[in-house]
Structure 1
Amino acid sequence: MEMEDIEDVLGPAGIAGGGAAPGLRLPLAAVAVKPKRPRSSRVAQTRPQPEARIPGTQTIYVKTFGCSHNQSDSEYMSGQLSAFGYAITEEPEGADLWLINTCTVKNPSQSAMTTLISKCKSANKPLVVAGCVPQGSRDLKELEGISVIGVQQIDRVVEVVEETLKGHEVRLLSRKTLPSLDLPKVRKNKFIEILPINVGCLGACTYCKTKHARGHLGSYTIESLVDRVKIVVSEGVREIWLSSEDTGAYGRDIGTNLPNLLNGIAAELPADRSTMLRIGMTNPPFILEHLKEIASVLCHPCVYSFLHVPVQSGSDAVLTAMNREYTVSEFRRVVDTLCELVPGMQIATDIICGFPGETDEDFSQTVNLVKQYLFPQVHISQFYPRPGTPAARMKKVPSVEVKKRSRELTSVFESFSPYQGMEGKVERIWITEIATDGVHLVGHTKGYIQVLVIAPDSMLGTSADVKITSVGRWSVFGEVIEGSVVAKETQKHNHSELQEEYRPSQVEEATCCGTDSCGACTCSDAAQQCNPGPERSENSTPQSCGDATHQEAVQSKLVRRNVEGAVKSSESDTAKQVGEIQRLNVAARRFPDVDTILWGGLAVSFATTVTLIALLAYKISSTPSY
Structure 2
Amino acid sequence: MEDIEDLLVGNGGGGAPPGFRLPLNAVGLNPRKNNNKPKLTKLDHRLASKVPGSQTIYIKTFGCSHNQSDSEYMAGQLSAFGYALSDNPEEADLWLINTCTVKSPSQSAMDTLITKCKTAKKPLVVAGCVPQGSRDLKELEGVSIVGVQQIDRVVEVVEETLKGHEVRLLHRKTLPALDLPKVRKNKFVEIVPINVGCLGACTYCKTKHARGHLGSYTVDSLVSRVRTVIADGVKEIWLSSEDTGAYGRDIGVNLPTLLNALVAALPSDGSTMLRIGMTNPPFILQYLKEIAKFCVTHVYTPFFMYQSNLGAMNREYTVSDFRTVVDTLTALVPGMQIATDIICGFPGETDKDFAQTVSLIKEYKFSQVHISQFYPRPGTPAARMKKVPSNIVKNRSRELTSVFEAFTPYNGMESRVERIWITDIAADGMHLVGHTKGYIQVLVVAAESMLGASAIVKITAVGRWSVFGEVIETLSQIDEKAASNRRISSQVRCDPCSNQDDSCACSNDPHCGTCGPESCGGEIALEESRVSRIDKLLEDRSSRNLMGWLLRKRKNHVHKVENDIALGSMKKQECVGGSIGGWDVIDKALLGGMLFSFLTIVAVIIHLGYRTPPSK
TM-score by length of 2: 0.78
SS of alignment partner, residue 98 of structure 1 = strand
Please say if residues 491 and 522 of structure 2, whose CA atoms lie closer than 8 Å, have aligned partners that are also in contact: no
Q: Summarize the Cα distance change of 1:142–1:232 in structure 2 as closer, same or farther, 3 Å threshold.
A: same
Please say if residues 36 and 167 of structure 1, whose CA atoms lie closer than 8 Å, have aligned partners that are also in contact: no
Please say if residues 473 and 542 of structure 1, whose CA atoms lie closer than 8 Å, have aligned partners that are also in contact: no
SS of alignment partner, residue 338 of structure 2 = strand
Aligned to 2:390: 399
Amino acid across the alignment from 1:13: G
Question: Which one of 272, 287, 308 corresponds to residue 303 of structure 2?
Answer: 308
Please say if residues 455 and 471 of structure 2, whose CA atoms lie closer than 8 Å, have aligned partners that are also in contact: yes
1:403 Cα offset (Å):
0.3
Q: What is the alpha-carbon distance in structure 2 between the residues aligned to residue 412 and residue 437 of structure 1?
A: 27
Aligned to 2:12: 13
SS of alignment partner, residue 424 of structure 2 = strand
Q: What is the alpha-carbon distance in structure 2 between the residues aligned to residue 105 and residue 360 of structure 1?
A: 25
SS of alignment partner, residue 460 of structure 2 = strand
Q: What is the alpha-carbon distance in structure 1 between the residues aligned to residue 523 and residue 147 of structure 2?
A: 46
1:544-580: CA deviation from partner (whole Å, max 9, x where unpaired): 23678995999857985998799899999x99xxxxx
- Unaligned segments of structure 1, at least 5 residues: 1-9, 23-30, 527-540, 576-584, 586-626
Please say if residues 288 and 334 of structure 1, whose CA atoms lie closer than 8 Å, have aligned partners that are also in contact: yes
- Unaligned segments of structure 2, at least 5 residues: 1-8, 19-30, 498-504, 526-558, 564-574, 606-614
Question: Which one of 98, 107, 114 corresponds to residue 101 of structure 1?
Answer: 98
1:198 Cα offset (Å):
0.5
Q: Summarize the Cα distance change of 1:562–1:88 in structure 2 as closer, same or farther, 3 Å threshold.
A: farther
Amino acid across the alignment from 1:393: R
Q: What is the alpha-carbon distance in structure 1 between the residues aligned to residue 479 and residue 32 of structure 2?
A: 54
The 5-angstrom pairing of residues 473-552 of structure 1 reads: 473-481=464-472, 484-487=473-476, 491-492=480-481, 507=496, 509=505, 512-515=512-515, 521=520, 544-545=562-563
1:261-303: CA deviation from partner (whole Å, max 9, x where unpaired): 1111111111222111111110000000101111111111x32
Q: What is the alpha-carbon distance in structure 2 between the residues aligned to residue 547 and residue 384 of structure 1?
A: 29
Q: What is the alpha-carbon distance in structure 2 between the residues aligned to residue 50 and residue 81 of structure 1?
A: 16
Please say if residues 206 and 322 of structure 1, whose CA atoms lie closer than 8 Å, have aligned partners that are also in contact: yes
Aligned to 2:310: 319
SS of alignment partner, residue 71 of structure 2 = helix
Aligned to 2:294: 297
The 5-angstrom pairing of residues 227-266 of structure 1 reads: 227-266=224-263
1:350 Cα offset (Å):
0.8
1:365 maps to 2:356: yes
Please say if residues 204 and 377 of structure 2, whose CA atoms lie closer than 8 Å, have aligned partners that are also in contact: yes
Question: Which one of 362, 375, 399 corresponds to residue 366 of structure 2?
Answer: 375
Amino acid across the alignment from 1:336: D
Please say if residues 337 and 439 of structure 2, whose CA atoms lie closer than 8 Å, have aligned partners that are also in contact: yes
1:399 Cα offset (Å):
0.4
SS of alignment partner, residue 514 of structure 2 = coil
Q: Summarize the Cα distance change of 1:490–1:460 in structure 2 as closer, same or farther, 3 Å threshold.
A: farther
Amino acid across the alignment from 1:515: C
1:386-441: CA deviation from partner (whole Å, max 9, x where unpaired): 00000000000000100010001001111111111111211111111001111111
Q: What is the alpha-carbon distance in structure 2 between the residues aligned to residue 420 and residue 522 of structure 1?
A: 20
Q: Summarize the Cα distance change of 1:563–1:277 in structure 2 as closer, same or farther, 3 Å threshold.
A: farther
SS of alignment partner, residue 114 of structure 1 = helix
Question: Which one of 61, 79, 84 corresponds to residue 81 of structure 2?
Answer: 84
Aligned to 2:4: none
Aligned to 1:122: 119
Q: Summarize the Cα distance change of 1:409–1:62 in structure 2 as closer, same or farther, 3 Å threshold.
A: same
The 5-angstrom pairing of residues 427-442 of structure 1 reads: 427-442=418-433
1:331-369: CA deviation from partner (whole Å, max 9, x where unpaired): 000000001101111101111100001111111111001
Q: What is the alpha-carbon distance in structure 1 between the residues aligned to residue 484 and residue 408 of structure 2?
A: 38
SS of alignment partner, residue 466 of structure 1 = strand
Q: What is the alpha-carbon distance in structure 2 between the residues aligned to residue 570 and residue 165 of structure 1?
A: 63
Please say if residues 488 and 522 of structure 2, whose CA atoms lie closer than 8 Å, have aligned partners that are also in contact: no
1:60 maps to 2:57: yes
1:521 Cα offset (Å):
4.4
Q: What is the alpha-carbon distance in structure 2 between the residues aligned to residue 350 and residue 102 of structure 1?
A: 20
Aligned to 1:605: none
* Comparing 554-563 and 264-273, the one that deviates more: 554-563
Q: What is the alpha-carbon distance in structure 1 between the residues aligned to residue 51 and residue 592 of structure 2?
A: 48
Please say if residues 415 and 542 of structure 1, whose CA atoms lie closer than 8 Å, have aligned partners that are also in contact: no
1:219-245: CA deviation from partner (whole Å, max 9, x where unpaired): 111111111111111111111111110
1:414 maps to 2:405: yes
SS of alignment partner, residue 90 of structure 2 = coil
Please say if residues 35 and 167 of structure 1, whose CA atoms lie closer than 8 Å, have aligned partners that are also in contact: no
SS of alignment partner, residue 309 of structure 1 = strand
SS of alignment partner, residue 105 of structure 2 = helix
Structure with larger Rg: 1
Amino acid across the alignment from 1:320: G
1:32 Cα offset (Å):
8.0
Please say if residues 83 and 184 of structure 1, whose CA atoms lie closer than 8 Å, have aligned partners that are also in contact: yes
Please say if residues 513 and 523 of structure 1, whose CA atoms lie closer than 8 Å, have aligned partners that are also in contact: no
1:379 Cα offset (Å):
0.4
Q: What is the alpha-carbon distance in structure 2 between the residues aligned to residue 569 and residue 251 of structure 1?
A: 68
Q: What is the alpha-carbon distance in structure 2 between the residues aligned to residue 249 and residue 565 of structure 1?
A: 61
Aligned to 1:472: 463
1:34 Cα offset (Å):
3.9
Aligned to 1:177: 174
Q: Summarize the Cα distance change of 1:198–1:563 in structure 2 as closer, same or farther, 3 Å threshold.
A: farther
Please say if residues 271 and 498 of structure 1, whose CA atoms lie closer than 8 Å, have aligned partners that are also in contact: no
User: Aligned-pair RMSD on alpha carbons?
Assistant: 3.7
Q: Summarize the Cα distance change of 1:386–1:549 in structure 2 as closer, same or farther, 3 Å threshold.
A: closer
Q: What is the alpha-carbon distance in structure 2 between the residues aligned to residue 496 and residue 227 of structure 1?
A: 29
Aligned to 2:222: 225
State the percentage of identical aligned residues: 66
The 5-angstrom pairing of residues 424-463 of structure 1 reads: 424-463=415-454
1:52 Cα offset (Å):
1.4
Aligned to 2:66: 69
Q: What is the alpha-carbon distance in structure 2 between the residues aligned to residue 248 and residue 441 of structure 1?
A: 32
Q: Summarize the Cα distance change of 1:189–1:345 in structure 2 as closer, same or farther, 3 Å threshold.
A: same
Aligned to 1:620: none
The 5-angstrom pairing of residues 136-151 of structure 1 reads: 136-151=133-148
SS of alignment partner, residue 93 of structure 1 = helix
Q: What is the alpha-carbon distance in structure 1 between the residues aligned to residue 107 and residue 589 of structure 2?
A: 44
Please say if residues 487 and 523 of structure 2, whose CA atoms lie closer than 8 Å, have aligned partners that are also in contact: no
Aligned length: 530
1:490 Cα offset (Å):
7.5
Q: Summarize the Cα distance change of 1:271–1:56 in structure 2 as closer, same or farther, 3 Å threshold.
A: same
TM-score by length of 1: 0.77
Amino acid across the alignment from 1:256: V
Question: Which one of 330, 340, 343 corresponds to residue 321 of structure 2?
Answer: 330
The 5-angstrom pairing of residues 161-200 of structure 1 reads: 161-200=158-197
Aligned to 1:281: 278
Please say if residues 333 and 521 of structure 2, whose CA atoms lie closer than 8 Å, have aligned partners that are also in contact: no
Please say if residues 36 and 169 of structure 1, whose CA atoms lie closer than 8 Å, have aligned partners that are also in contact: no
Please say if residues 282 and 310 of structure 1, whose CA atoms lie closer than 8 Å, have aligned partners that are also in contact: yes
Q: What is the alpha-carbon distance in structure 1 between the residues aligned to residue 201 and residue 353 of structure 2?
A: 22
Please say if residues 271 and 491 of structure 1, whose CA atoms lie closer than 8 Å, have aligned partners that are also in contact: no
Q: What is the alpha-carbon distance in structure 1 between the residues aligned to residue 266 and residue 583 of structure 2?
A: 37
